[in-house]
Amino acid sequence: MAKVSTEIKERWGSVLQQRREATGMTQETLGRALGVKGTAVSNLERGRTTPARDVLASLDEALETGDELTRLWDDLVKEGKVPWLGQMEELEKKAASILEFHPFLVPSLLQTEAYATAVMRAVTPWEPTAKTEASVGERIARGERFQSADTPVMMVVIGRAVLTEPIDRGPVMREQLEHVHALAKRERITLQITEEPRHPGLVGPFKILDPPPERELVYAESAYKGQFVHDPDAVGEFKLRFHRLQAAAMPPSRSLRLVEETIEGFGHE
């Protein structure tokens, strides 16, 4: 059997845990149904072990998930760990600073589970629910690591469209804005919002990372897949673009007030 990355096993294991807990079964109960100890189920859920083909089928049968867990495993192994995601996780951990701009979404490191789920389902509505849940789980884990740490410093500029054209006008968006507001209020991030529709960020979303002792680099998003940019001249241009965005955006204090006003508006609808 080809070696499967720990990231894939952990991603699949998190979905297994969700499905088990949804049935009310303990690890020991599920283990008995499979003819193994509860610790074996725990190891699967934590990504410590690789599920055999017969175990995948037995899990689907015991949890009454059709062939969902089997299909998810096959999809993840076939797809493999998205290369940029693994690299991004390491860069985020090492970075001294992150400068990020997004014109119409809250950056992924700052997203709540409900918001991330809504975004992913809107972008790829054909994707199996289990796969979406696994992707959301990875994103939230990255965010929690960032939010609980003291570094990197993160400066964020978002488009005003995040507030004026939200993906939701109810509890999902309210929770998301309250979360971002709390992070900015305790100065974990510096938040600014664009003021005018014409600005240097019209090229699309990007983030600049500074992972010493390596050189700064840029991650630029696209509809197909993201791209890392290492060329010093191109990185310099993106830095200039970001600083121009900061200069043209509302100052942090005013940006926070706008977020507060938007939250209050949702509360009255």
- Among residues 114, 80, 107, which one has the least CA distance to residue 92? 107
Q: Which residues contact 11 (CB under 8 A, 6 or more apart)?
A: 47, 76, 134, 135, 137, 138
Element (H, E) at 206: strand 206-210
CA distance to 13, 29, 260, per residue, from 257 (Å):
41, 51, 5
Position 2 confidence tier, pLDDT thresholds 50, 70, 90: low
pLDDT over 60 (residue 63): yes
Q: Which of the four pLDDT bands, split at 50, 70 and 90, describes residue 145?
A: very high
As a CATH number, domain 83-267 is 3.30.870
In the prediction, which pLDDT does 267 show? 58
| Structural class in CATH, domain 6-79 | mainly alpha
Tell me: the pLDDT tens digits for 182-231?
Answer: 999 999 999 999 998 889 898 899 999 998 877 899 999 876 667 888 88
Q: What is the pLDDT of residue 222?
A: 75
Share of the chain above pLDDT 90, in %: 66
Question: Which has the closest alpha carbon to 92: 222, 230, 209, 224?
Answer: 209
* Per-domain boundaries in the chain: 6-79, 83-267
Average pLDDT in the chain: 90
